[in-house]
Amino acid sequence: MDIQQLNCFISVAQTLNFSEAARRNFVSQSTVSRYIGDLEKEFGVQLFTRSHRDVLLTHEGKTLLPYALEMIATLGKAKKVIDKLQNGGTGKLSVGCDVTSPLFPSRCIADFTAKYSGISVELKKLDAADRSAAITGGEFDFCFMPRDMVPESSGIETVVTHTESLVVVSSAESPLKGRKSISLSELAAQRLVLLSESSAPILYMEIMDMMRTFHLTPVIDSTYDELIELYMAVLSHMGAAIVPQSLAEMTAPGKTAVLPIADADTGIAYVMAWSKTLSNPVGGLFVETVRQYALGDDGGYGL
């Protein structure tokens, strides 16, 4: 049984005319007769009685008709839902974001939801634990993270989205107020408060590697798992923080001073990662949106 057979059966049942049913379904009259014969063989009953003058539905044919109409209507609804998914009409995405670079994915998600209002986006913090499972295990459709944090796996697809430079954030009342930049040697003499290695492993590693490269030993007062704790420590004059540029932009204007690091290359590359077996039908639309802003390996902070 297929949809063409059912459509022809419905047309014959409604018109009681094989020629008209053939015209409605754009097939020959012999094809309609063959379809009806195939259905009768499948059900093992006669669906119509035929004479030279009349075509009539049998009791079995009358019984089948409402079910055939329901099946065709259900298939039509399913096709509409699938078409909407493919064209971005409705759906849902789950996105995980590393805490150290929120503004780029925020821009992409804002534009995506504005364009595809029927698609909802569930946004969650991406923990530093098992990111391979988060990507390939179905917890998230897409993950934004530092490139060096992407697990080595042939099943993961990535696109480099942007790079972020590290900056120093201090209290607006600190001695650094009014400075245009800060050198690494000066920074090594400052008390520092950092995001912890467990919450931001790549950021922590980059800061430590930067110091070791220049044979400097940082004075780390405390480390914190949450951004709110880090910024409270900065505002409490406990030390200066080293964070990516986009995190510095999230501090309260007038309450903090933001200084670039003058004598070091501090760029961190970020990517969006997803499973090559991603089956979410609206996933391709999100990839297209992100690629509009992705700057590639040589790009900067793309906002």
277 & 239 share domain? no
150 & 286 share domain? yes
Q: Is residue 300 part of a domain?
A: no
User: Any bridge partners for residue 192, and if so which?
Assistant: 220, 240
| CATH number of the CATH domain containing 97 | 3.40.190.10
pLDDT score of 81: 67
| CATH number of the CATH domain containing 68 | 1.10.10.10
pLDDT score of 24: 94
Q: Is residue 203 part of a domain?
A: yes
What digits encode the pLDDT tens for the residues 261-273?
998 889 999 999 9
pLDDT score of 303: 41
pLDDT score of 218: 92
pLDDT score of 129: 64
pLDDT score of 53: 82
Q: Is residue 102 part of a domain?
A: yes
Give the span between the Cα atoms of 39 and 46, in whole angstroms: 9
Residue listed under structure tokens 């329901």: 70
Structural domain harbouring 134: 91-163+269-293
pLDDT score of 301: 42
252 & 289 share domain? no
pLDDT score of 284: 87
81 & 99 share domain? no
223 & 79 share domain? no
Domain tally, the chain: 3
Secondary element (H or E) of residue 222: strand 219-224
pLDDT score of 298: 38
What 3-state class would DSSP assign to 94? strand
17 & 135 share domain? no
Residues in the chain, pLDDT under 50: 296-303
pLDDT score of 253: 78
What digits encode the pLDDT tens for the residues 271-283?
999 999 888 888 8
Q: Residue 92: name the closest of 84, 104, 100 by CA.
A: 84
For 138: left if phi > 0, alpha if psi spans -120 to 50, otherwise beta; the answer is left
pLDDT score of 132: 66
